[in-house]
A = this chain, B = another copy of it.
Amino acid sequence: MSFNLATMLRESALAQPDKDFLRFPGGARTFAEVDGAAGAVAVALRARGLAPGDKVAVLLPNVPEFVVAYFGILKAGLVMVPLNPLLKAGEIAYHLADSDARLLIAADAVAQEAARALREVPAVEPVVVGDLDTGKWPESVTAFADLLAAGDDGELYPGAADDTAVLLYTSGTTGRPKGAELSHFSLYMTCTIGSETFGTVPDDVVLAVLPFFHVYGLSSILNASARNARTVSILPRFETGAVLAAIERDRITVMAGVPTMYHALAAADSSGYDTSSLRIGSSGGAPIPEQVLRAFEAKYGIPVLEGYGLSESASTATVNPGADNRKVLSIGKPIWGVQLRIVDDEGTPLPPGPEHVGEIVLRGHSITKGYYKRPEETAQAFRGGWFHTGDLAYADEDGFVYVVDRKKDLVIRGGFNVYPREVEELLYRHPAVAEAAVLGEPDERLGEEVVAVVSLKPGGHAEPDEIVAWAKERIAAYKYPRRVRIVPELPKGPTGKITKVPLRQSTADGPGRG
């Protein structure tokens, strides 16, 4: 019954040793090369005294070394803790301490923040990817390249399927970041069944510009590609020209993105690039506005299927089952083996219909074991035996699910529920609006008032009051935004999706409202 998630890489390397697993600006690595290098990392980590269950944090962008480190950690029976390389020193230190990390594998480029963090948690030994400038790091530093020297012994630690493979930090619905424990089994199941449902084929080449440290990039892209011996085309960051060039160069067939990427690509000048290899796209991370979906599909001639997942569900929990069976703007249906309910505040399942909006709760093979060292928050999230996502949705008669909003984003104005996403959908249809975020702001009389922050299209012109008036004509009186603020660009999280936290702070802080 033993199982190691790195079996996916091993089996692909046995079946297709010379096929490219990773393509990246400037090179490529075959399955056999990555498997062998990961095996060498496992040997080196064991030789340093790390024992099964020990945590290794990784602070890297999308580079081949991320993949080698990841599978090396898994092969040795250790637990991977992927961190966002844009974190600041205090945040890095928090994650290292909270996860009980014994080692940190980091890019030399983040030396300044990482080294400051390591002063707070000096027991953590750094391993550096890239040109190692030892002067920037603690004395215990090792070059990642040195880990590869010992060579592969072919071992895969034979742990239990339920053992934790990845500790994935997430804010969850509330509070400080918590490490969601994802097992070898959960990660295997969700990437295997997610791929089947999405309908990928062996010859697909998948774009990997979404960060591997995020569940979407780690599970739906990296794990799924290792599982199915598919080639991934790696980019360290999103930039439309680089993505279009990679599509042409690597003959990418599957585009995996978040709505802001589809928005940028729909607006980009793609005339100089051959994108005819594209076959299908997936969108997740946030609801994709219909205008964005239609514009991208029209421009690139491929369907984009929406799905839904969380760190706590090892990525894909629902997906639209194929281009012929999809319902646009729905997140589709739960994948095989995942049970989904939409429940009221008492946990009672709600009937179908858009009037029955409730919280999505999940159960099944994909779902986290819980939050590391946080039994109370785990119990709260799993009350009644179901994982509470904090997302509000309804289902239709066919079982397709429509996300209405985040539970915490819900605005209650004078007793009426306003779902910001619905108002954002409207604002995206305004001819001058590029991006929109709607949120609630404390209001003495109404409890909350509806406000919007938008950015404008290049060459677009609009005044806040015009937008308010435009919206007022098109949506119920209790829903339209009373105030609109125009900003050059909306703040984005690590995957590129719009994040409302800084907007809330800035609107709460007062100045600059339109």
- Chain A residues engaging chain B, CB cutoff 8 angstroms: 1-3, 7, 11, 156, 158, 160-162, 182-183, 185-186, 189, 336-337, 339, 363-369, 385
A160 contacts which of B162, B336, B363, B368 (Cβ < 8 Å)?
B162
CB <8 Å contact, B162 and A365: no
CB <8 Å contact, A3 and B385: no
CB <8 Å contact, B162 and A368: no
For A339, what are the chain B residues with a Cβ–Cβ distance below 8 Å? Answer: 156
Chain B, Cβ-Cβ closest to A157? B385
CB <8 Å contact, A3 and B336: no
Expressed in whole angstroms, the Cα–Cα distance for A251 and B45 within the complex equals 56
For A156, what are the chain B residues with a Cβ–Cβ distance below 8 Å? Answer: 339
Q: What are 26 inter-chain pairs, A to B, with CB distance below 8 A?
A: A1-B183, A1-B185, A1-B186, A1-B365, A1-B366, A1-B367, A1-B368, A2-B363, A2-B364, A2-B365, A2-B367, A3-B185, A3-B337, A3-B365, A7-B337, A11-B336, A11-B337, A156-B339, A158-B363, A158-B385, A160-B162, A161-B161, A161-B162, A161-B183, A161-B185, A162-B162
CB distance from A101 to the nearest CB of B (A): 22
For A3, what are the chain B residues with a Cβ–Cβ distance below 8 Å? Answer: 185, 189, 337, 364-365
Copies of this subunit: 2
Expressed in whole angstroms, the Cα–Cα distance for A185 and B192 within the complex equals 14
For A162, what are the chain B residues with a Cβ–Cβ distance below 8 Å? Answer: 1, 160-162, 185
CB distance from A356 to the nearest CB of B (A): 19
Expressed in whole angstroms, the Cα–Cα distance for A410 and B182 within the complex equals 46
Chain B, Cβ-Cβ closest to A160? B162
CB distance from A398 to the nearest CB of B (A): 12
CB distance from A80 to the nearest CB of B (A): 16
Expressed in whole angstroms, the Cα–Cα distance for A161 and B183 within the complex equals 10
Most buried by B among A1, A365, A369: A1
For A369, what are the chain B residues with a Cβ–Cβ distance below 8 Å? Answer: 1
For A363, what are the chain B residues with a Cβ–Cβ distance below 8 Å? Answer: 2, 158
Chain B, Cβ-Cβ closest to A7? B337
For A182, what are the chain B residues with a Cβ–Cβ distance below 8 Å? Answer: 1
The 8 A-B pairs at the shortest CB distance, nearest first, are namely: A161-B185, A162-B162, A3-B365, A1-B186, A161-B161, A1-B183, A1-B369, A160-B162
Expressed in whole angstroms, the Cα–Cα distance for A369 and B162 within the complex equals 13
CB distance from A17 to the nearest CB of B (A): 13
CB <8 Å contact, B161 and A365: yes
Expressed in whole angstroms, the Cα–Cα distance for A385 and B385 within the complex equals 35
For A365, what are the chain B residues with a Cβ–Cβ distance below 8 Å? Answer: 1-3, 7, 161
CB distance from A238 to the nearest CB of B (A): 31
For A161, what are the chain B residues with a Cβ–Cβ distance below 8 Å? Answer: 161-162, 183, 185, 365
CB distance from A263 to the nearest CB of B (A): 35
